[in-house]
């Protein structure tokens, strides 16, 4: 990949105001990271405000032979927004307009920089909300959610981002603007939305999104179930769903995470519990009452020591604050953490959690668990100090062991964080050469020169018409 020529910054300043072209080394350094532990280097950062400016920047980057890394809020956890080899960072954080709200569909057209929670707040008075709710929803952007096909606790019932994207506007490699889908059902032709959602910025730059809005439920039941063992908690989760009940959310935390979160939030979590499961059901009052009765009965049958039902919205918000503050609470345990995002069949949940415990012992590491138990989306979190080289090596080895353990039981590499840099070289664990080549051909069809977010998602040799390596290698010093 060609490095930017010396005149690149001036060329981009001719397109944008000076303040929106960042060339100072310290400021560029800030854009070399995302929410993961990957590190890179931005050759130049530009912050366009309109689709026209995005298109012009992409065209100029193509003329200059520069790689382009689209970036939202930078909360990604797989290194997807980390620029490598001096790439141009196209930061979309100024594109924050809610363009249109249609109450009849209902849906909203938004720009990619709109924050996830801000959209729900903007339509609350209409009795609507945006259902996908990552733990970082107060900070993450809708464009970033589209990039990684983000999930969240309530995606157990409502589905991940792809279920809520009706249409997209995308700037392609030559700067042309492509419109895909929209609020009308059953659009003819190929469903290219499915190619763009979850593509992690490798096929184009999303400049506008039509998202489905969901009516607020008339009734909500939220309960915290306390168990003396992780096995009992995991079996409780499977048993509830086996009863034909699919709650809006089922979230689990183990004892190490419970202790960290309780010190951080003070939500009254039981410090002597081996695991807690936060269950939420919503819908009509009659249906919620039915689901609540199942949760209570199955919880008691599986040894729940206590089932704490939120008495009001304030207590409900406190319990959810505890769950969504989990990653921030890790700072009380260690200065850094490495978070995984594998998905396993729900029936193998307990087996994999026990194996993760053995992995922690084998590598002498603290591994904390907080995850979407209802759909088997695990988030083992390895707490460590990256200043300790030996510990870093053990973290990397434990990470691979966790991935292999999940894949061995029929799991997949990611449920919501994406592949990015973190899992790029693990793709051959679940895809054969033909699979990867087909994905590379789809990517190449929209970005033939491979300038959008290079070195991400697919292994290095997974190009259309080329052989796939068993494992690639990241550029030196970019991961862990």
Closest among 239, 232, 237, 243 to 278, alpha carbons compared: 237
> Whole-angstrom Cα distance, residue 53 to residue 175?
10
Q: For the chain, give every domain's residue range.
A: 8-91, 98-215, 219-328, 334-408, 423-480
Give dist(CA 342, CA 415) in Å, integer.
Answer: 6
> In Å, how far are 178, 437, 454, 477 from 440, measured between CA atoms?
20, 5, 12, 25
Domain 219-328 has CATH 3.40.50.410: no
The crossing angle, in degrees rounded to 10, of helices 349-362 and 389-408 is 160
Alpha helices per DSSP H over 182-304 = 193-196, 230-242, 255-265, 285-301
Helix (H, G, I), strand (E, B), or coil: what is residue 178? Answer: strand
Q: If you ran DSSP here, which 8-state letter would residue 19 be given? A: G
DSSP 391-458: HHHHHHHHHHHHHHHHHHTT-BS-SSS--TTTTGGGGGGT--HHHHHHHHHHHHHH-TT--BSTTSSS
Same CATH topology for 8-91 and 98-215?
Answer: no
Which residues fall within 8 angstroms of residue 301, CB to CB, at 6 or more apart?
Answer: 239
The two tokens of residue 349 are 């949940």
Picking from 441, 442, 429, the residue whose alpha carbon sits closest to that of residue 470 is 429
The answer to whether the beta carbons of residues 464 and 447 sit under 8 Å apart is no
Q: Which residue has the tokens 């039509």?
A: 210
Q: Under a CB-based contact definition with an 8 Å cutoff, are residues 369 and 253 in contact?
A: yes
- 17: which 2 tokens? 């105001």
Give the right CATH number for 8-91 from 3.30.43.10, 3.40.50.620, 3.40.50.2000, 3.10.20.90: 3.30.43.10
Token readout for 456 is: 């991400």
CA dihedral sign of residues 194, 198, 204, 205 = positive
Tokens describing residue 362:
């084998």
Question: What is the chain's pLDDT, residue by residue, as a tens digit (480 residues)?
Answer: 445 445 799 999 999 999 999 999 999 999 999 999 999 999 999 999 999 999 999 999 999 999 999 999 999 999 999 999 999 999 999 999 999 999 999 999 999 999 999 999 999 999 999 999 999 999 999 999 999 999 999 999 999 999 999 999 999 999 999 999 999 887 788 899 999 999 999 999 999 999 999 999 999 999 999 999 999 999 999 999 999 999 999 999 999 999 999 999 999 999 999 999 999 999 999 999 999 999 999 999 999 999 999 999 999 999 999 999 999 999 889 999 999 999 999 999 999 999 999 999 999 999 999 999 999 999 999 999 999 999 999 999 999 999 999 999 999 999 999 999 999 999 999 999 999 999 999 999 999 999 999 999 999 756 665 433 333 444 444 556
pTM as predicted:
0.93
Q: Is CATH 2.160.10.10 correct for 98-215? A: no
**Residue 352 DSSP SS3:** helix
Task: Choose which CATH entry (3.30.360.10, 3.20.20.140, 3.60.20.10, 3.30.70.2740) describes domain 334-408.
Answer: 3.30.70.2740
3-class SS of residue 16: coil
Q: How far apart are CA 386 and CA 304, in angstroms?
A: 38
Could you give the angle at the alpha carbon of 433 between the alpha carbons of 432 and 437, nearest 5°? 120
């Amino acid at each position: 990949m060609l490095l930017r020529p010396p005149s690149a910054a001036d060329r981009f300043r001719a397109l944008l105001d000076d303040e929106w072209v960042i060339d100072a080394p310290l400021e560029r350094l800030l854009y070399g990271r995302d929410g993961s532990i990957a590190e890179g280097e931005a050759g130049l950062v530009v912050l366009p405000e309109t689709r026209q400016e995005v298109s012009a920047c992409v065209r100029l980057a193509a003329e200059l032979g520069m790689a382009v890394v689209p970036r939202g809020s930078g909360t990604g956890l797989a290194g997807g927004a980390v620029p490598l080899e001096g790439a141009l960072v196209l930061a979309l954080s100024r594109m924050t307009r809610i363009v249109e709200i249609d109450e009849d569909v209902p849906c909203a057209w938004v720009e990619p920089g709109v924050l996830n929670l801000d959209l729900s707040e903007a339509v609350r008075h209409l009795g609507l909300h945006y259902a996908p709710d990552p733990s970082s929803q107060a900070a993450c952007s809708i464009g970033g959610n589209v990039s990684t096909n983000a999930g969240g606790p309530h995606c157990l019932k409502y589905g991940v981002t792809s279920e809520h994207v009706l249409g997209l506007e995308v700037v392609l490699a030559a700067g042309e603007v492509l419109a895909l889908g929209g609020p009308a059902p059953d659009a003819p032709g190929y469903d290219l939305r499915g190619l763009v959602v979850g593509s992690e910025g490798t096929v184009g730059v999303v400049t506008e999104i039509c998202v489905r809005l969901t009516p607020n439920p008339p009734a909500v039941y939220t309960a915290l179930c306390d168990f003396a063992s992780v096995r009992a908690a995991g079996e409780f989760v499977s048993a509830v769903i086996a009863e034909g009940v699919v709650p809006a959310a089922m979230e689990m935390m183990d004892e190490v995470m419970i202790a960290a979160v309780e010190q951080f939030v003070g939500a009254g979590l039981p410090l002597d519990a081996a695991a807690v499961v936060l269950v939420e059901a919503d819908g009509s009052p009659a249906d919620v009452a039915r689901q609540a009765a199942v949760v209570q009965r199955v919880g008691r049958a599986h040894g729940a020591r206590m089932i704490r039902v939120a008495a009001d919205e304030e207590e409900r918000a406190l319990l959810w604050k505890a769950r969504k503050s989990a990653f921030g609470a890790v700072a009380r345990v260690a200065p850094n953490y490495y978070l995984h995002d594998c998905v396993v069949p729900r029936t193998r949940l307990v087996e994999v959690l026990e194996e993760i415990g053995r992995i922690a012992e084998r590598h002498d590491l603290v591994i904390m668990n907080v995850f979407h138990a209802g759909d088997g989306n695990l988030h083992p979190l390895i707490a460590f100090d990256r200043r300790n080289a030996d510990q870093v090596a053990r973290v990397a080895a434990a990470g691979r062991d966790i991935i292999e353990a999940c894949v061995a039981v029929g799991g997949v590499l990611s449920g919501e964080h994406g592949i990015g840099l973190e899992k790029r070289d693990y793709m051959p664990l679940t895809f054969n050469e033909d699979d990867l080549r087909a994905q590379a051909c789809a990517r190449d069809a929209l970005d033939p020169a491979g300038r959008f977010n290079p070195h991400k998602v697919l292994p290095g040799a997974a190009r259309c018409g080329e052989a796939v390596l068993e494992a690639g290698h990241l550029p030196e010093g970019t991961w862990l």
